[in-house]
Amino acid sequence: MMDLGEIERRPAKYWNADGLPEVMMGLVWVLWGTAWLVGESLPHGTAWNIYWMFTPALLALSGVASVWATKKLKARITFPRGGYVEWKAPTRTQRVIGAMIAMVTAALLAALVVRARAQGTERVAPAVFGVLLSLGFVIASLTQRAPHMLALAGVALALGLAFGALDLGWQSMNWMMVVLGLATILSGSLRLGMFLKRNPLGNHA
């Protein structure tokens, strides 16, 4: 008997086989965390206003640019070695649901920040953030049949607990993004190296 669910999940599994999506995701997280650290270090004034006028838009564009860069890199590196696979574009309903989930998540995180600041519980926020990221990795691991993401889930949880213990306030959230981004880049790079070794150029010429 054919497992139709497994057949349907194969493109997603193959899309993540080379580690490139992790590398690009890690780069985006490092960029975001670094941008927030730099912005919070600036004294309030003209430079601070100009920085935060343009930075949010540039950070949003970085997410779009990472998707474009991933596709270009796959066309140049992955497809000549492993064969072409088309990533199924999300339907309109899926895009709407995704946008709603993103807005609800942003609202919940904003409420968490406001409440934590009001109650002076900034120390708890990194742990909560780490748990949320860890759950995201677990869900991705199960839906995409990508067990390596469980390791990143553990890293996210450990970082949340560690930065919570360091009591760095809201800076810890930004440092978490930088460190987790570096860990994700390392994981993706190792998997990319293994993919290139297993699939030398010319296999699918």
Q: Which of 196, 191, 188 is nearest to 28 (CA)?
A: 188
Q: Among 59, 70, 74, 68, which Cα is nearest to 29's?
A: 59
CA 139 – CA 94 distance, rounded (Å): 17
pLDDT > 70 in the chain, percent: 69
Within 130-196, strands assigned E span none
Across 186-197, b (16+ Cβ under 10 Å) vs e yields ebbeebbeebee
Shortest CA distance to 184 belongs to which of 162, 152, 150? 152
What does the domain layout of the chain look like in residue ranges? Answer: 4-198
Establish how many alpha carbons lie within 13 A of residue 147's alpha carbon, considering only the half-sphere containing its beta carbon: 0
Note the pLDDT tens digit of each residue in 102-116: 566 556 665 665 666
Predicted confidence (pLDDT) at residue 98 exceeds the cutoff of 70 = no
Spatial distance between the Cα atoms of 7 and 117, rounded to a whole number of angstroms: 47
Residue 155 has pLDDT above 70, yes or no: yes
pLDDT value at residue 24: 92
Give 154's contacts (C-beta < 8 A, 6+ positions apart): 134
The DSSP output letter for 121 is -
Q: Indicate the residue type of 119.
A: Q
- pLDDT confidence tier of residue 6, bands split at 50, 70 and 90: very low
- Say what the pLDDT of residue 7 is: 41
Phi then psi dihedrals of residue 18, to 5 deg? -100, -5
Q: Give the tens place of pLDDT for each residue, 37-66.
A: 888 888 888 888 888 888 878 887 888 888
**Selection from 77, 48, 28 nearest residue 177 by Cα:** 28
Q: What is the pTM of this model?
A: 0.74
10 Å Cβ neighbour count for 140?
16
Cα-only R_g, the chain: 19
Of 152, 192, 135, 193, which Cα lies nearest the Cα of 16? 192
Whether the pLDDT of residue 73 is over 60: the answer is: yes
